[in-house]
Amino acid sequence: MTKSELFERLSAILQETFDIEPSRIIPEARLHDDLDIDSIDAIDLLVRLKPVAGQRVPPEVFRSVRTLQDVVDALHGLLGSDSAAA
């Protein structure tokens, strides 16, 4: 899955789960500061990302993420190097 496809899936999850307006969902958006994703929401997001990643997303992966692009990059890394870069 490409990074673009991952971002599209992440965008859909954020809209459906957290009612975030599509205009706010940009790669540079900071999870906490811009999108009001707190630690409880982040756990819910990890659960929702499991089907996208095809595996449980380890919480330690999310410790260093700050932006949506960080989430996409982390997921892309989990999917392995056989995914095409966007």
| Domains of the chain, earliest start first | 3-81 (1.10.1200.10)
Length of the chain (residues): 86
Question: What's the pLDDT band for 60 if we cut at 50, 70, 90?
Answer: confident
Q: Show contacts of 14-22: CB within 8 Å, 24+ apart.
A: 14/45, 17/44, 17/45, 17/48
Check: pTM over 0.75? Answer yes or no: yes
CA distance 41 to 35: 10
Question: What's the pLDDT band for 83 if we cut at 50, 70, 90?
Answer: very low
Q: In the prediction, which pLDDT does 57 show?
A: 83
Residue that has been written with the tokens 């500061």 in this structure:
33
For 42-57, b/e burial (b = at least 16 CB within 10 A) is beebbebbeebbeeeb
Q: What is the pLDDT of residues 10-46, one digit of tens each?
A: 999 999 999 999 999 999 999 999 999 998 999 899 9
* Average confidence (pLDDT) over 52-61: 84
